[in-house]
Chain A
Amino acid sequence: MGFLSDIIEAFVPSNIEKLYTEDIPQATAPDISFKPFTVAGPTGTISAGGQTRYDLSPSGQALQDALEAGALSRFGATPAGVGQLGTAAEQAMGVGGQFMGQLGMPMGAREQEVYDRIRATQLGEEERQRLALEERLFAQGRGGVQTAMFGGTPEQFALAQAQEEAQNRASLAAIQQALAEQQQQAALGSQFTGLGAGLLSQQQALEAGQQQMGLSALQGAYIPQAAMLSAFSPALNVASLADVSRRQAGELALEAQMANISGTVGQRAALANMYGGIYGGLGSGLGGLLGGLFNSDFDLAQLNPFVKT
């Protein structure tokens, strides 16, 4: 040791020294750890510990297993008739698509076809009328009439006009017929498409129903577990109360220990200050003596570890 230590050793009693050297009492954490518990009920047993374990009752377990199996079978299987519905829907959509596809096609060819068929029904009578007029005109000596107003005779003009009007009406009728047919195609296309869509909807409904049944089975499969968990909840609350009280007790105990430690530290600090004062006065006196002796700037307070400089 050094000189100074020797001095302190020489002048500081042990009880003071102990104020500085003796360990402050340590706080000990109270035991607030989780305490495993087990909930047992008619639906099963739940063991809450390091690992929580659920044990359904045998009947619940059997029920869950059956429902899960059912759900699995629902999810994995195709509902009856879905295939046929799909085929039918596909066919219906195909037919509807064909009808719809024809809507975009030009109507000129169909109009011409309808026009030709209408005109075919008219041409015979028109030819008979033309021949009759021709005969009448020749009988009247008017077979060779040409006029600026009518081209031929007024009767020929009227007949030609009537024929032109018939052609116009046939043309208009052909357009209307083609349009009606187009509308009919649209209606049929829409109808078939709707049928296909309906079949698809039914297919989806079947599949949804299948899924729903699977889900229901799945949901049902967890009902025993839920029931068990439901039973677990009150127990869990009870366990929680014990846990809370335990933690509160531990907290209180820890706070008490901390208070005790704080009191001890305060006590020691007070003693140290007191001894520091004492020794400080002694030191000052001694220092004055010594200062006078030695004119030294040495401050004994510097030697006091409890005095702040």
Chain B
Amino acid sequence: MAQPLQTINLIAPAFKGINTEDSPLAQDASFAEVADNAIIDRRGRLASRKGNAVATTDKTVLGTDYLHNIHEFYDSAGNEIIFSTGNNKIMTGTTTLVDATPGSYTITANDWKIFNFNDHVYFFQRGYEPLVYSNSLGAVTKMSSVSGASVTSAQYANEAIAAYGRVWCVGNASDDNTVYWSDLLIGHDFSGGSSGSIDVSKAWPNGFDKVVALAAHNGLLIIFGENNTLVYANAESPASMEIRDAIPGVGCVDRKSVQNIGTDLLFLTQTGLRSLGRTIQEKSLPITDLSRNIKQEIIANVLAKTDPVSSVYSPENYFYLLCFPDLNLVYCFDVRGLLENGAYRVTRWPSVNFKSFARDRNGDIYIGTTSGVGTYENFLDAGSPYRFRYYSPGLTFGDPSKIKMLKKIRPTIIGGNNSDIHLKWSYDFSALINTGTFRTSASIPGFYGQSEYNVAEFSEEGTVISRTGINTTGYGTVVSVGLEADINGYSLSLQEMNVLALAGKTI
């Protein structure tokens, strides 16, 4: 007797991002096993990320190194300079990288912390005299050479931020527990006025730790240790600031992972990505882990990394990017909302050579690579396509005991002009993956006001929508489906995926 076809509609597949923590069989179909080079777009669909539009044409100064830092300096007069670091140099510019390293200043590392403060930009790196640039100085200058400066080797610090009218720094060659703050509005004066310091070595709730990162949020000074976090209130008056909260067991593994997302602070701990607000509310309960869906994976990456991570928060793109440069891996956390398990939706950007990020005041995302400075736009990585991947978790169609025979897979794809779409399916977690390919229609959308006077003037619809289906073969109890496509200049998003299967006998 013929069995009716069962239809599984994967609406907005991978809407909840990837999940490598839960059993594939128990997973919600809204999760994905793989979501590479993907984001959750503004309509909640799994979509391809944008590419890296490299702006640099002359990277002689950078050599073969990559950009470890990118920073936009701007001041109240409207002056703007893009600073970057790499190849043991400090550089300016985007098209042509220009060496701006001060004379007689030798650099052998590139782990700078760069930030703006009071019309100046400050460069801090452990063991190095801090550097300062301002429009009036005209060049990157050693801090001690700045008029009114008072700086000692105690301020040759690893971590520094500008907050509450001061520069705060911590982590010199011999002391990772004394936080120094500058005089009010004078970021290079660490001995006069209302400057001071605080030794937090006795304040750690677990007895000992060392400061990794600093952050300012909501009138608080957040001092991240490796395994603990101290929250100081009244940081506007540092001499009187006091501990508001001490969070044992939750620290920060890298100062560059800390990002203020406006309403909260995100930071990478040894157990994953966390937010300060929820951590304070719920202390160190693991349920608040924002990277819970990739917990083991991210812990492994934290342990495996050898270079500092980089991160960026983009409210325009709703994401927080966490990059492991030496692993060529970027995690994209969608910060619009939390899943029911308290985690962010997350996708991976593997095999990218993105090394550093920066967001400028216009919302543009700068990407540092071996090619120099790029921006997060278009859909090519330095002119080359990149592969978008999606794989579903194991699908049992509600009855894991019965054999399923896939008959057809029909995705609804938006965009991807003239792209080859590789549909994938496999059974019972086999490495033998079946593939079927089709090409989306070639239609270059023409939008009013952008291309109305060229050949696209009369395009029928703004974006290509493809509902092409592929007949499938094989059988198994657990079915995995997927989709791969090379992103080559056009966006691609996966609206839904219809999977038609025939249920067989029970095994």
User: CB within 8 Å of B: which residues of A?
Assistant: 138-150, 153-155
Alpha-carbon gap, A154 to B202, bound state (A): 19
CB distance from A119 to the nearest CB of B (A): 28
Contact present for B203 and A150 (CB under 8 Å): no
Alpha-carbon gap, A144 to B203, bound state (A): 9
Alpha-carbon gap, A154 to B234, bound state (A): 13
Q: Is B300 an interface residue (CB 8 A)?
A: no
Contact present for B199 and A143 (CB under 8 Å): yes
CB distance from A129 to the nearest CB of B (A): 18
Q: Is B183 an interface residue (CB 8 A)?
A: yes
Q: Is B194 an interface residue (CB 8 A)?
A: yes
- B434 contacts which chain A residues (CB < 8 A)? none
Contact present for A140 and B197 (CB under 8 Å): no
- B102 contacts which chain A residues (CB < 8 A)? none
Q: Is B103 an interface residue (CB 8 A)?
A: no
Alpha-carbon gap, A290 to B322, bound state (A): 199
Return the CB mask of B222-256 against A: 1 if under 8 Å, else 0.
00000000101000001111110010000000000
- A138 contacts which chain B residues (CB < 8 A)? 202-203
Can you give 30 contacting A-B residue pairs, CB < 8 Å? A138-B202, A141-B198, A141-B200, A141-B203, A141-B232, A141-B243, A141-B246, A142-B198, A142-B241, A142-B243, A143-B199, A143-B202, A144-B178, A144-B197, A144-B199, A145-B196, A145-B197, A145-B198, A145-B239, A146-B198, A147-B238, A148-B191, A148-B192, A148-B193, A148-B194, A148-B195, A149-B194, A153-B240, A154-B239, A154-B240
Choose one: A139, A145, A147; the contact of B194 (CB below 8 Å).
A147
Given contacts A142-B241, A148-B195, 18 further A-B contacts (CB under 8 A): A138-B202, A141-B200, A141-B203, A141-B232, A143-B199, A143-B202, A144-B178, A144-B200, A145-B196, A145-B238, A145-B239, A146-B199, A147-B239, A148-B194, A148-B196, A149-B194, A154-B240, A155-B240
Q: Is B201 an interface residue (CB 8 A)?
A: yes
Contact present for B196 and A140 (CB under 8 Å): no
The SS class assigned to the B binding surface is: mixed
Question: How many residues of chain B are within 8 Å of chain A by beta carbon?
Answer: 25
Choose one: B193, B241, B242, B246; the contact of A149 (CB below 8 Å).
B193
Q: Lowest 10 A-B CB distances belong to which pairs?
A: A144-B199, A147-B196, A140-B242, A141-B243, A141-B203, A147-B239, A145-B198, A148-B195, A146-B197, A143-B202
- A154 contacts which chain B residues (CB < 8 A)? 239-240
Closest to B199 in A: A144
Alpha-carbon gap, A140 to B245, bound state (A): 9
CB distance from A158 to the nearest CB of B (A): 11
- B242 contacts which chain A residues (CB < 8 A)? 140-142
Contact present for B199 and A149 (CB under 8 Å): no
Central interface residue in A138, A141, A142, A148, by most chain B CB within 10 Å: A141
Contact present for B178 and A148 (CB under 8 Å): no
CB distance from B32 to the nearest CB of A (A): 43
CB distance from A6 to the nearest CB of B (A): 157
With A138-B202, A141-B200 as known contacts, state yes or no: A149 contacts B243, CB within 8 Å.
Answer: no
Alpha-carbon gap, A138 to B200, bound state (A): 9
- A143 contacts which chain B residues (CB < 8 A)? 199, 202-203
Alpha-carbon gap, A145 to B240, bound state (A): 9
Alpha-carbon gap, A61 to B242, bound state (A): 114
Closest to A136 in B: B242
Contact present for A146 and B196 (CB under 8 Å): yes
Alpha-carbon gap, A274 to B240, bound state (A): 156
- A141 contacts which chain B residues (CB < 8 A)? 198, 200, 203, 230, 232, 242-243, 246
CB distance from A155 to the nearest CB of B (A): 8
- A147 contacts which chain B residues (CB < 8 A)? 194-197, 238-239
Alpha-carbon gap, A59 to B421, bound state (A): 173
Alpha-carbon gap, A140 to B242, bound state (A): 5
- B177 contacts which chain A residues (CB < 8 A)? 144
Alpha-carbon gap, A155 to B234, bound state (A): 14
Alpha-carbon gap, A138 to B197, bound state (A): 15
Return the CB mask of B189-220 against A: 1 if under 8 Å, else 0.
00111111111111100000000000000000
